[in-house]
Amino acid sequence: MRKRVVITGMGTVNSIGNNLSDFWAGIKAGKSGVGPITHFDPVNHVTKIAAEVKGFKASEFMELKEARKMEPFCHFAVASALEAYRDSGLTPETMDPDRIGVVLGVGMGGFETLENAFSILLEKGPTRVPPLTVPKVISNIAPGNIAILLNVQGPSCVVTTACASGTDAIGNSLRLIQDDVCDVMIAGGSEALITPLGMAGFNVLHALSTKRNDDPTKASRPFDADRDGFVMGEGAGILILESLEHALARGAKIYAEVLGSAASTDAYHMTAPHQEGLGASKAIKWALKAAGITPEDIDYINAHGTSTEINDAVETKAIKAAFGAHAYKLKVSSTKSMTGHCIGAAGAIEAIICAKALEEQFFPPTINLENPDPNCDLDYVPNKGYNAVMRHAISNSLGFGGHNSILVLKRYER
């Protein structure tokens, strides 16, 4: 039998809070992390708002000389990993370095460094490009730095499947423990794309919200008829996954159990999802099968819910196709209404929300749902969360390239 896998530690940096406690308090309160862009001057950009990380100082988590060698996405990942590790209660004495690994989801990597280095290349020539350009840009440097910091000597890699990256990273980590390759995995995602090129690139795809620059907290409005695009977010989410056997042996606290995961590919379009949500519904069905439960067992879905016209309608179709009549008994919410869309980190941050929701029996809200779209007719927990019985939850992540990744969690029971 495959090993049972549980979550024993979590850490996050995002627009709502720079630690797990502040973040969860913000989610429960329905707090928006969206505001005017301050990372650069967006005067020439159509979109002038984003869900930025606020008040974060990398030097509080690492020596300044080390921080200077890293990109913001790496800062966020290291800080979140340190919090998750400390939260888990792991110590060098309770872990075998050969039996712990790191898998992170990163959609794009070091855009800030890439943009700056390219400007220097054009203005001053190739010999003036900073020597740390490549190490700061490459995505796998984030798990590499975490491994150095925490003496992780097992598998270490990056998953890049656009907006499904964080969820795929957790799913891959789950299987490494289930297959007895590792006892502990540091899993999650990180992203920092609030840069001139990052924002411009998504704007020319007509993916970002452009109508609420003067009212930023109302801009991310999944499933609302007045939605006009997603809001760029940034940050990281890291979870400590551990075999139940290993966790119990050291007396660890347990947030939730990870039952299964699955992924599918639309094979349809580079950026648009299949119009009937066939790939997403297939991945949901496969994830439920991997978890060994039925559709009727699910109480809550943390939706991909980007606040784009196409995604929200298609995801609603996918949920209906996967759950049938039970879709109307589910609670579905998009917490991107608060965090914005953190691309490669989104699925990991949302997995943390699912784990806390199961632990505290709390259904998180979809804020800004003021004018429901008739094509989105499920229970999206509008505007205010509440406490009720929750046994099982799933987290949906749907990415460019047709990547669909689904994670199934359960309230922990011995």
Tokens matching residue 49 = 């708002």
Other C-beta atoms lying within 10 Å of the C-beta of residue 248: 14
Question: What distances in angstroms separate CA 274 from CA 7, 262, 277, 286, 315, one per listed residue?
Answer: 32, 18, 5, 17, 10
Catalytic pick among 163, 182, 354, 376:
163
Of the candidates 177, 235, 157, the residue with the CA atom closest to the CA atom of residue 7? 177
CB 161 within 8 A of CB 116: no
Of the candidates 364, 340, 353, 105, the residue with the CA atom closest to the CA atom of residue 234? 340
Phi/psi at 9 (5° precision): -160, 150
Judge whether 341 counts as a catalytic residue.
yes
Of the candidates 106, 91, 70, 104, the residue with the CA atom closest to the CA atom of residue 151? 91
Judge whether 326 counts as a catalytic residue.
no
Tokens matching residue 154 = 């097992």
Judge whether 163 counts as a catalytic residue.
yes
Q: Which residues pair with 406 in a beta bridge?
A: 262, 396
Question: What distances in angstroms separate CA 188 from CA 109, 202, 320, 385, one per listed residue?
Answer: 14, 23, 28, 25
Catalytic pick among 246, 274, 304, 403:
304
Give the separation between CA 262 and CA 405, rounded to whole angstroms: 6
Long-range contacts of 89-94 (CB under 8 A, 24+ apart): 89/8, 89/9, 89/250, 89/251, 89/252, 89/253, 90/8, 90/9, 90/184, 90/240, 90/250, 90/252, 92/151, 94/250
Catalytic pick among 75, 246, 274, 341:
341
Question: What distances in angstroms separate CA 199 from CA 73, 203, 216, 234, one per listed residue?
Answer: 16, 6, 15, 12
Count, residues in the chain = 414
Residue 344 CB contacts under 8 Å (≥ 6 apart), including other chains: 105, 106, 107, 108, 160, 162, 163, 165, 166, 189, 190, 191
Which letter does DSSP use for residue 265 in this model?
E
Tokens matching residue 27 = 């989610």
Give catalytic residues, as residue numbers. 163, 304, 341
